[in-house]
Amino acid sequence: MDGYVIALIMFGALMIGIMMGIPIAFTMSGISIIVGFFIWGGTTSLTGFVLSAYSDVGQFVFTAVPLYIFMAGILRYSDLVEGMYEAFYRWFGGLRGGLAVGTTIIATLFSAMVGTTMVSTAALGAIARPSMIRRGYNDVLTQGVILAGSGLGILIPPSIVMIIYAVIADVSPGQLFMAGILPGIMMAVLIIIYSLVVCWVRPDFGPAIPKAERFTWKEKFVALKGVILPLAVIATVLVTIFMGVATPTEAAAVGVVGSLICAGIKRKLSWSNIKNMFEMTIGLCAMLFWLVIGASAYAKIVSLTRVGEYLSGLIEGWNLSPMMFLIVVLIVYFILGIPLDAVPILFMTAPIIMPIFESMGIDLVWFGVIFIISAITANLSPPFGIQMFILKGVAPDIKISDTFKACWPMVGLFTLGTIILFIFPEIVTWLPNQMYK
């Protein structure tokens, strides 16, 4: 049987497994073992699966993953978001749409601290949404701002998806971290501009705080103490990487220590909170590493089918330019990203597209950022976007029709962001180039 036929069968089996509701990690693992059994026979496929799992998950760079997740757990249970929210509420509440601006900034900062979309969506959905609704904000705008801002968690460093992409694409995690900073800020600015325009056109969507209830300058500056600790953690992690003092993996340990100090200052290191922090870390790590194991085995089998070489030959015959090929790949990623998370997509497609990208001279650091924005866009897309269901989980009173309405403008904003980065790739490449001059 031809290799590309085996690859098609594997992909079809994966889609069937997903539609049946079988966990993706187990679906990929099972397909890999079964196909490996038919290729090698006997117990060789099982042995290969175990060795593959050990070699992939045992890489030193993956040490950063549980550390960043633990850091996220510390920050989540230290009530840092409440302090940030109060500070930005005092500063921006007097503007029409000011709370949407403040929530976007908080989402950007908190997402940068936790490095994962799930945690930031859950935390902001539980904290920011009730506060905005109570102050008369439209629920569609509120949900859109929370979902889009939380999505930046995998774009702004430190990002767990970036670490996994760096391992797969064999690029520097430090360069990738630096590459995500300016695009992340750009996307946050686009969300803020959108929120202000909507509230200017529809004042009832985001009313300003009445003048009688606005805060004095003294109260505003006092509230900034709620932002100091989170900014200190982010700055410590990024500066140690940028200055070459620590690798991204070592910086993760620095971030954990900094977060523990913050939690200690806020007196949140109770046994109950510590238990919750470890439970969250163990649960997310178990889920993520099962995904890595299953997806990595799946990717290895796909690479053995030589489907990448087959597709390379087809593409050469079509005479596609690198730009056209990129657009086709991004469309495929967008479709795959609606039901799937970024990690399995990376492992599924990397053996096929990475060699083609290298032969075309496409910058893999730049593409990493483009891929992540594409994954965020897909995660926001109705009707199966993952983030929508995370938000629904922490806010059961949400109408799913409102969530759909909230997501479409944000999908448009992230698509616009992708187009801007295509036209001006220097937004991605400038900072890493400065770092490695």
Query: Residue 405 has what pLDDT?
Result: 92
Q: For the chain, give every domain's residue range.
A: 59-269+305-435
CA–CA dist 365, 324 (Å, integer): 19
CA–CA dist 316, 304 (Å, integer): 21
CA–CA dist 299, 303 (Å, integer): 6
Tokens of 229: 């600790």
In tens, the pLDDT along 131-161 reads: 788 878 899 999 999 999 888 878 888 787 8
Closest CA to 88 of 222, 223, 218: 223
Query: Residue 77 has what pLDDT?
Result: 82
Tokens of 268: 């949140």
pTM summary value: 0.79
pLDDT by residue for the chain (437 residues), tens only, comes to 566 677 778 878 887 887 787 877 788 888 888 887 777 666 666 676 677 677 777 777 778 778 878 887 887 788 777 777 778 888 888 888 888 898 888 888 777 666 677 777 877 787 788 878 887 889 999 999 999 988 887 888 878 788 888 888 888 888 898 899 999 999 999 999 999 999 999 988 988 887 777 888 888 898 888 888 878 887 888 788 777 788 777 888 888 898 899 888 888 888 998 998 898 888 878 877 887 787 777 777 777 777 666 666 666 667 777 888 888 888 888 777 766 777 777 777 776 788 788 778 889 999 999 989 988 888 888 877 778 877 887 788 888 889 899 999 999 999 999 999 999 999 999 998 887 66
DSSP string over 266-329: TT---HHHHHHHHHHHHHHHHHHHHHHHHHHHHHHHHHHTTHHHHHHHHHHHHT--HHHHHHHH
Cβ atoms of 101 and 196 within 8 Å: the answer is yes
